[in-house]
Structure 1
Amino acid sequence: MATTFDEKIPFEKKGLQLYGLFKRGDPERRLPLIVLLHGAGATAAYFDNSAVSVVKSFNSLGHDVLNISRPGYAGSVAPTTATPMKDSIAVFTDFIEQVYNEKASARHGNGGIILVGHSLGGAFSLSIAYEARERLPLLGVSSLGCLPVASSSSLLPDPDLEPHNPRFVVQTTPENVRKYMGEVEWVNLDALDPALIASVFEPILKSELKEYSSNEFYDYLVNRAFAGVNIPIQYLAAEAEIAWDNEKEGRPIFDDLVSRFKAAPEVESAILLGGGHNYEYSYNVGILWDKRKAFVEKLTSKNAASPISKKDTSKVLANGDVFTSVPLLDYAEATSPSTRSKFLKELKDAIVNVGFFYLKNTSVPDQVQTDFTQQSIALFDLPLEKKLEIEMVNSKHFLGYARLGQEVTALKNDFREQFDFATELPAPGPDEPLYRNLRGPNQWPDSQVLPKFRATIETYMDHIDKLAETFSSLVAEALDLPSTAFDQFFDKPQQNKLKLIKYPEPVDSKPDEDTQGVGPHKDSCFLTFLLQGTPHTGLEVQNKAGVWLPVKPIPGTLVINIGRALEAITGGVCTATTHRVNLRPENYKDSEGNSLGPRYSFAIFQGVSLDVAAEKINLNIPQHIKDLVKDDKVRSDAEATFNQMFNGNIGEGTLIARVTSHQDVAQRWYPDLLAQALEAQKGRYQ
């Protein structure tokens, strides 16, 4: 059995059981996660045993390694469907995504996943690379011995002597040894030890071989998956394979398969001499390792992330400082003395280099969050006339209901419906500056219709307000400042804003067509605390290479991002990252193709004192922290007109942002300011 792992991670979904053996690499280097997928009739021990350990080889280079034991092997229940391979692809994707987000050190650094598969595991790797090309941060895929043949007969013997047995036992006859291992003189005899063979190889699932041999799966794998993989591919075969006896016989088959990789930016292909189908057990395994190592090191140095949009397929992230995923932080580590320094280090990386991060194990009780979500959705479900009773245009404080398409970002209407609330505060006096109108009382829905709404919303806001207050101290500590360093920038009481958002499914949109849920922008607050209320994808962040990356919902987490107030206060040390919501049709379907309904998300924006001005900012940020900021700022798609918006004070800049976003409110209450802001903004988009 496999022994090189730190943690065994079980996973079950859609009736399929599997587990992963996770081996941690060098946490400081944060290299791509290596995912290993074994073939038919083998276990995860194929890649890790006393004779061969691909796990140790990659781990010695510093990589985290996830060695997956597939359904039906190593004691897990065998799949019962006729299409176990097609059924497993989405499950593998979910599992890999979970492990990457929760375990891999790469999520905090340059990011990325590299798939390595053998035989049917190669077919799985290539299929995942095709199906999850816009979901996982895939850098490349290496496949050995995946050689589908059109109109092939079943790989099972004919006749099947045990038709009622769901498994097929490969006898260790000289003929089969040559078929699977190659010529005897090539074989590492240590690998033929009976005890080792018993731990590595198991009877093959007939259902897998039947599906793999079918014309339907061949068409899917070769004509769709092979043709659609759009990341670098390493495609390898052995001199002696199940599909051929020697290189001369196999070359036409191999070259034809290589020609099917039409979308990959680069394909490295080779038939490896001196070995059979299970080349890892050849004396010449060093040839295979050298190729895999070079392929992985090349991808790592390029840091070539999988494109998120088909519009980005030509972009390669060659800069190692460019983030390719959003890190996941554990709030429990911040509250424990033994792990607090680790948390602060990860937080520093997130706020300086990324600007976005997930936070799990938050201080918000599950029931509070559940009640809040239910009441928020109930508000959207009210008849339009009830919602219009609290329409935002009636409030000079920009609080209340905004109809579908009424908010504007980057000169385009956002396809969303929303309600804005805030910490309950009185309206300012008539002699106070105009920007103080950003503070004021809420418009609450009819308590006869939603009697629990206000109390539920205020309870949730109270929990987030306390979390936000704690985080201002944590951010200070992460920057090697006193924990109270940011206190001077907050009012007592401080007004935080809550935005409840509903994104209906766009009508008549086409597959892969972008619809603006909310356009590219940066939040104007200190920190944003976002709850993604439904499982839809759609939220995307833009890295410094201009590539849009997904921020998929992770159950039990909040998404936190840096606002421009924090960026301004820290002189650009903390980075406010451009983000958007993209409403592609596929974002409204689950893995089975069923409709998910509307997308809901709920954001609380942590405010700062509206009177903060540039001359009042005197943080003494240590030089070693300032040195973490890179000079190569890439132009974003957001409204650069207001990059200097806080040169006056934060209140004035924030008011301008609200005026341009909610132009109906501005037309009623601030018409002159609206005209000035729109004129300035036009230059950015012409």
Structure 2
Amino acid sequence: MTTSLPIVDMALLDGDDADRALFRDRLLEATHSVGFFYLVGHGVSEEAIDDMFAVSREFFALDDDAKKSVEMVKSPHFRGYTRFGGEYTDGGIDWREQIDIAAEYSPLDGDEDYLILDGPNLWPDRLPGLKTAVRDWQERCGRIGLRLMREWATALGASRDAFDEGFADRPSTLIKLVKYPGRAASDKQGVGAHKDPGVLTLLMVEPGKAGLQVLRDEEWVDAPPVPGAFVVNIGELMEWATDGYLKATMHRVVSPPAGDTRLSIPFFFNPALSSTMPHLELPAALKDEAPGVTQDPANPISGTFGENMLKARLRAHPDVARIHHPEMV
């Protein structure tokens, strides 16, 4: 199969030593050169994928009152539903509706601003099956995420458990159910150009629905869905941990044509808010190809996940920030 992104087969990890070494080589090359790849052989069944898209359709089919009952502006923790035009990326308005559902923990005491991100989700009363479906998806994707982190650690010359500590207690996972409506307008920003602020993203896209674009060699290339595959990309924390050897890549979504829609389910696998990613000492051969972390005064990268995530939330949801955290605006 010819695609615009590399394809990495996780089933190789169930083979012999040579297969596992081949997987690590392909994983490292994909995320060093592109920062994105298609993950196949991950073990999530077609039935489970269909079930998640089915519950997504049920949510978006709810009437406005039901969706507004769980609107994000009601949550100081940036959880819940965002209507069309309610989120900003790269200074522009994203044209999508979505619900954000994160891992639920009781807030911790402390002075760090990012601790406001912990708290309860907003669950719609009219769709009780959503909670069960999301928690099942969290568990499935969390297992894949941790397995990938251990393979990256090994491939980068570190101990296999180099990244484990950040995910051992209160990992900050986040799921979005997203619907992009078709647009005839000249402004086709479904979601604007950005890098993810965390560690890695497992994205499942409705079959046959294009729109995702990845910046490669200063050109936007289409990354249409591959049946049953996750689109995986790394975020700023992996770039930080490897001094730029692994690449957090700009990407965006272009709205579908008028009369069509597009569903996607991104899962963000991130460590605890207070955790700081280890800064790995790379083998000499890799270190020579590490250009350093991207220096952008408008978007400084922190190795502490909570700091990275809070700046992204405040920027993306200024209405929530003004209502609940005016001192941070």
TM-score (norm 1): 0.46
Larger Rg: 1
The answer (yes or no) to whether the contact 1:353–1:629 under 8 Å persists in 2 is no
2:135: which partner in 1? 458
For 1:213-362, list aligned pairs within 5 A.
Answer: 325-337=4-16, 338-362=18-42
How far apart are the structure 1 equivalents of 2:135 and 2:308? Answer: 27
1:540: which partner in 2? 213
Secondary structure, aligned partner of 2:263: strand
> Once the 2 structures are TM-superposed, how far is the Cα of residue 491 of structure 1 from its aligned partner?
4.4
The answer (yes or no) to whether the contact 1:534–1:599 under 8 Å persists in 2 is no
1:410 to 82, 90, 93: 90
The answer (yes or no) to whether the contact 1:355–1:562 under 8 Å persists in 2 is yes
1:524 to 193, 197, 207: 197
> Once the 2 structures are TM-superposed, how far is the Cα of residue 457 of structure 1 from its aligned partner?
1.4
1:651: which partner in 2? 306
How far apart are the structure 1 equivalents of 2:291 and 2:80? Answer: 40
2:48: which partner in 1? 368
Secondary structure, aligned partner of 1:339: helix
> Once the 2 structures are TM-superposed, how far is the Cα of residue 459 of structure 1 from its aligned partner?
0.7
Aligned length: 328
> Once the 2 structures are TM-superposed, how far is the Cα of residue 644 of structure 1 from its aligned partner?
2.1
For 1:89-128, list aligned pairs within 5 A.
Answer: 99-101=1-3
Q: Which runs of 5+ in 2 are unaligned?
A: none
Q: Which amino acid aligns with 2:261?
A: P
> Once the 2 structures are TM-superposed, how far is the Cα of residue 534 of structure 1 from its aligned partner?
3.8
Secondary structure, aligned partner of 1:481: coil
> Once the 2 structures are TM-superposed, how far is the Cα of residue 486 of structure 1 from its aligned partner?
1.1
How far apart are the structure 1 equivalents of 2:214 and 2:279? Answer: 30
Q: Deviations over 1:433-466 (max 9, x none)?
A: 22111122111111xx223221111111110011
How far apart are the structure 2 equivalents of 1:365 and 1:376? Answer: 17
The answer (yes or no) to whether the contact 1:538–1:582 under 8 Å persists in 2 is yes
1:435: which partner in 2? 114
How far apart are the structure 1 equivalents of 2:7 and 2:279? Answer: 31
1:621: which partner in 2? 282
How far apart are the structure 1 equivalents of 2:114 and 2:137? Answer: 27
Q: Deviations over 1:403-440 (max 9, x none)?
A: 101000111110010100012222334x4522111122
Q: Which runs of 5+ in 1 are unaligned?
A: 1-98, 102-324, 589-594, 675-686
> Once the 2 structures are TM-superposed, how far is the Cα of residue 653 of structure 1 from its aligned partner?
2.6
Q: Which amino acid aligns with 1:522?
A: K
Question: Structure 1 residues 504 and 618, CA, compared in 2 at 3 Å: closer, same or farther?
Answer: closer
2:264: which partner in 1? 601
1:515 to 170, 182, 188: 188
1:571: which partner in 2? 243
How far apart are the structure 2 equivalents of 1:630 and 1:652? Answer: 23
> Once the 2 structures are TM-superposed, how far is the Cα of residue 672 of structure 1 from its aligned partner?
2.9
> Once the 2 structures are TM-superposed, how far is the Cα of residue 624 of structure 1 from its aligned partner?
1.0
> Once the 2 structures are TM-superposed, how far is the Cα of residue 558 of structure 1 from its aligned partner?
0.3
Question: Structure 1 residues 612 and 668, CA, compared in 2 at 3 Å: closer, same or farther?
Answer: same
How far apart are the structure 2 equivalents of 1:653 and 1:669? Answer: 19
> Once the 2 structures are TM-superposed, how far is the Cα of residue 364 of structure 1 from its aligned partner?
1.4
Q: Deviations over 1:506-534 (max 9, x none)?
A: 1x43xxx4510000000011100000024
How far apart are the structure 1 equivalents of 2:326 and 2:68? Answer: 22
The answer (yes or no) to whether the contact 2:256–2:262 under 8 Å persists in 1 is no
1:489 to 166, 172, 175: 166
Q: Deviations over 1:43-100 (max 9, x none)?
A: xxxxxxxxxxxxxxxxxxxxxxxxxxxxxxxxxxxxxxxxxxxxxxxxxxxxxxxx32
2:151: which partner in 1? 474
Q: Which amino acid aligns with 1:498?
A: I
The answer (yes or no) to whether the contact 2:79–2:100 under 8 Å persists in 1 is yes
Q: Which amino acid aligns with 1:609?
A: A
How far apart are the structure 2 equivalents of 1:641 and 1:607? Answer: 23
Question: Structure 1 residues 643 and 621, CA, compared in 2 at 3 Å: closer, same or farther?
Answer: farther
2:273: which partner in 1? 610
For 1:578-593, list aligned pairs within 5 A.
Answer: 578-583=250-255, 585=257
The answer (yes or no) to whether the contact 1:400–1:421 under 8 Å persists in 2 is yes
Q: Deviations over 1:179-231 (max 9, x none)?
A: xxxxxxxxxxxxxxxxxxxxxxxxxxxxxxxxxxxxxxxxxxxxxxxxxxxxx
The answer (yes or no) to whether the contact 2:90–2:194 under 8 Å persists in 1 is yes
How far apart are the structure 2 equivalents of 1:668 and 1:349? Answer: 44
